[in-house]
Structure 1
Amino acid sequence: MESRPRLSFWQIWNMCFGFLGIQFGFALQNANVSRIFQTLGADMDQVPGLWIAAPLTGLLVQPVVGYFSDRTWTRLGRRRPYFLAGAVLATLALFVMPNSPTLWIAAGTLWILDASINISMEPFRAFVGDQLPPSQRAGGYAMQSFFIGVGAIVASLLPWLLAKAGVANTAGAGEVPDTVRYAFYFGGVVLFAAIAWTVLRTREYPPEVLASFEEAPSTPTTAPPAGKAPAIAALAWSLAGLAMAAVIAVQGWDRMLYVLAGMLVAYGALLLLSRVLPAGGMLPTIVADVRAMPQTMRRLAVVQFFSWFALFAMWIYTTAAVAGTHFGSSDPASAAYNEGANWVGVLFAAYNGFAALAAIAIPWMARTLGLRLTHLVNLWLGAAGLLSFLLVRDPQWLLLSMVGVGFAWASILSLPYAMLSDSLPATKMGVYMGIFNFFIVIPQLVAASLLGFLLKWLFGGEPLWALVLGGASLLVAGLSVLAVPRLVAQEARA
């Protein structure tokens, strides 16, 4: 079989440039959606539930998009039709979000926005595996991390920059400030333009050419054929979820915990449904692929779970934590709160800036330390950054905390994919990258369901402690990297 030709720096640049736009949209969402929700009247304990839209749409959308993009071939190619469709929908959602008249319209728009971004994002991960030979994949994912950092810097800074330029940073009760509205409008334009650049400036290999590039994976591509899930296992998952729901009801615990119970019931139901549907259909295929994941992917799933639990805790609670602890206000209509919220935008821009620099350093670190140890070091730098929020009281010094978070973010966005990609067959690259997203989405759903409960019952409702829990989660993620199989060929190419 032939090997994929190596691509030039500028070819890799063009194929990854669209990620600048994707992250522009994500960064605006991450830094400002909690602020929008609180402005429209959400209480702090409601915010995690409203955020459930984001990970839940990823859970549903990414494996489906991956499944279909593996089987698509049009005049635009295999992955690019999904880039473009997601870009159009996400741009429209960015225009609508800051003009939401009610809290529930804002929550619904978040569903649409996150689903649309995911339609574009999932094929971008598979695109690197399609286009690049194994020796260039770590660099390709690092290039994506670089554009993620650059896009997020500008997007996160936009409200702060607009306020410095004289745009109104406060508004009447229930109204989103002009700084946020104009930032979302600009973000919509950038997202569409960046993705359009990749669509127009790249090409894709036809299916028959791609098949001729199939390399022998450096680890077995899948576990032994899984067959259909045993009925008893499917029933056990559903019964476990129902039992959890009963305990939550009897104990009167936070209703957000029903999301966790619902996830168990839903998984059991999907296993049962996959047993009765004809083999070869979308759902039975995805379920079979989940049950036959490569060992490397199974071990990386644990790393991803604790990594993304920490990130989601940071995205949900940093605005409230910094505004309350460092600026002394929890009132979304106050000048102090909005000043703190803008400073969170600066902090998020800072960690993305450090991530862009880290993306340049990570290939060198990987060659020196290996992929696993590099990822461990970077995750622990992120843990130190989040844990330092408990000690730092001058908001200016939080910029130093963001150095560690930036290294962790760049590493999370690149090294797990570099470790994973060699163990995946090219014909299933899209669906497996979508399945891998489960282990990004599930921890976010757990965080959205559990964090409010933990903060209320253990930490007196103080959002700062969510960041401390995030730091502890990154420590566990770092230790979990050591269980990932060490691939000699990968380490040599890194």
Structure 2
Amino acid sequence: MHSSSTKARLSFWQLWNMSFGFFGIQFGFALQNANTSRIFSTLGANPEELPLLWLAAPVTGLLVQPIIGYLSDNTWHPKWGRRRPFFFLGAVFASLALFLMPNSQALWMAAAVLWMMDAAINVSMEPFRAFVGDKLDPSQQTAGFAMQTFFIGCGAVIASLLPTIFSDYLGVSNVAADGGIPDSVRYSFYVGGAVFFLSVMWTVLTADELPPENLEAFRKERSATAGLGHALAEIFGGFGRMPKTMVQLAFVQFFTWIGLFAMWIYTTSAIADNVFNTTDAQSAAYQQAGNWVGTMFAMYSGVAALAAFILPVLARATSRKTVHMICLVIGGLSLASVSQIHDRQALMLPMIGVGIAWASILTMPYAILAGALPAKRMGYYMGVFNFFVVIPQIVSSLLLGFITTRFLGGHTASTLALGGGAMLVAAALTLFVHDAARRAE
């Protein structure tokens, strides 16, 4: 890998091109986050089953991310580079899964497609995080992650609103006829599949990559470390060598993502019950609630897209961990407040707070981490770091349904309040994180 001293500063449009693929990646994730529980419920899942059905997402991340990170660290092609082959392959299979998901005829099929979709999205997404560390000097890395966050927000806004656009403005049916997926959701996923592929291909075709500083040494090292046994030893052995900053951030991530996962799983059922006064997933009111949740998620994603460019400025004036702590406090209080709101228009206010937190979650931990990682293992450690995104999701999948049913009386709005509390814990833990660059450059 090139040392940071050899990395030229990139222009705005170079940052744009190398990050544009995230527009499509988040288009897919936003459709998944806003509509998967809706699809599962429409196909007959009850609230206690929802977290277990969502288990596919974190488990695939747990398996895929460090492997893809390791493989991309040890890949080089004169034309395709290091990370871009994985962008391309993930885009092909993720787009296929997005076309398949709304055509699921049974719960088992929807759950199986979710496994495929999440694995493929992770294959594309994980190398994008390492891409910033590869190409950008440390002085531009916060800006690089912020540009990714901008595209994440833009993609999520449009994708989250698609079912509403199809049903309210284009006259497409929003009814779950005969227990099937509404056409408004079906067409949204079709658009998502096309956008995912085209956006990722934009980055593949317009961005270049820096070759290893010593290509011959890289090839010799790759040959010497070839083989499944060595690869597995490297992948799992790295846990014991994690930088101190990475360990500290892991605790912050754990509680942060418990809160986010609770929101993604239960917002639809909570809003249907709290605001639309229904728990019947086949009813028109429940499907209207699903569309409104898409609007809510569009709000927080839009706020995140705007905040992405403000946060680096605030970080330069204070510090990255201070900004992250404040954003998590705002997000935690906002998410917890959703359980007390019964007017759908008023629900937009807490989504502003969630959006501020989301912008920081997608930017600050990765910017802090990038400065603490060895350059030649950037992809691998970014993959390992995402263990602390997926492990809390697995814990949530196994426990949230039980907690909601046994201790919260089945009221999923209360589960959202619990998620907000987890974010507040994450904010407190941010105080203990050591950031080598106390101020963002």
Band of TM-score, shorter chain: over 0.9
Indicate the SS of the match to 1:347: helix
Task: Please report how far the alpha carbon of residue 280 of structure 1 lies from its aligned counterpart in structure 2 after TM superposition.
Answer: 6.9
Query: How do residues 36-435 of structure 1 correspond to structure 2 at under 5 angstroms?
Result: 36-74=39-77, 75-165=79-169, 166-208=171-213, 281-435=230-384
Gap change, CA 1:323 and 1:107, over 3 Å in 2:
same
1:359–1:410 contact (8 Å) kept in structure 2:
yes
Task: Please report how far the alpha carbon of residue 307 of structure 1 lies from its aligned counterpart in structure 2 after TM superposition.
Answer: 0.6
RMSD: 1.5
CA distance in 2, matches of 1:85, 1:411: 29
Task: Please report how far the alpha carbon of residue 173 of structure 1 lies from its aligned counterpart in structure 2 after TM superposition.
Answer: 2.9
CA distance in 2, matches of 1:486, 1:125: 18
1:211–1:427 contact (8 Å) kept in structure 2:
no
Gap change, CA 1:331 and 1:415, over 3 Å in 2:
same
Task: Please report how far the alpha carbon of residue 97 of structure 1 lies from its aligned counterpart in structure 2 after TM superposition.
Answer: 0.4
Structure 1: which 4+ aligned runs deviate by more than 4 Å?
A: 209-212
1:130–1:210 contact (8 Å) kept in structure 2:
no
CA distance in 1, matches of 2:208, 2:309: 25
Gap change, CA 1:459 and 1:402, over 3 Å in 2:
same
Indicate the SS of the match to 2:6: coil
Return the letter of the residue paired with 2:139. S
Aligned counterpart, 2:438? 491
Q: How many residues align?
A: 427
Task: Please report how far the alpha carbon of residue 279 of structure 1 lies from its aligned counterpart in structure 2 after TM superposition.
Answer: 10
Task: Please report how far the alpha carbon of residue 369 of structure 1 lies from its aligned counterpart in structure 2 after TM superposition.
Answer: 2.0
Return the letter of the residue paired with 2:53. L
**Higher Cα radius of gyration:** 1
Task: Please report how far the alpha carbon of residue 211 of structure 1 lies from its aligned counterpart in structure 2 after TM superposition.
Answer: 11
Question: Percent identity at matched positions?
Answer: 55
CA distance in 2, matches of 1:143, 1:464: 33
2:103–2:181 contact (8 Å) kept in structure 1:
yes
Task: Please report how far the alpha carbon of residue 37 of structure 1 lies from its aligned counterpart in structure 2 after TM superposition.
Answer: 0.6
Return the letter of the residue paired with 1:38. S
Task: Please report how far the alpha carbon of residue 77 of structure 1 lies from its aligned counterpart in structure 2 after TM superposition.
Answer: 0.6
CA distance in 2, matches of 1:211, 1:459: 60
CA distance in 2, matches of 1:210, 1:199: 21
Return the letter of the residue paired with 2:438. E
Comparing 321-330 and 363-372, the one that deviates more: 363-372
1:211–1:426 contact (8 Å) kept in structure 2:
no
Deviations 1:9-43 (A, max 9, x none): 10000000000000000000000011111111111
Aligned counterpart, 1:450? 399
* TM-score, with length taken from structure 1: 0.85
CA distance in 1, matches of 2:92, 2:259: 30
Gap change, CA 1:49 and 1:280, over 3 Å in 2:
closer
2:174–2:184 contact (8 Å) kept in structure 1:
yes
Structure 2 spans left out of the alignment, 5+ residues: 218-226
Return the letter of the residue paired with 1:41. G
1:39–1:173 contact (8 Å) kept in structure 2:
no
2:245–2:433 contact (8 Å) kept in structure 1:
yes
Task: Please report how far the alpha carbon of residue 287 of structure 1 lies from its aligned counterpart in structure 2 after TM superposition.
Answer: 1.8
CA distance in 2, matches of 1:390, 1:62: 34
Task: Please report how far the alpha carbon of residue 344 of structure 1 lies from its aligned counterpart in structure 2 after TM superposition.
Answer: 0.2
Aligned counterpart, 1:236? none
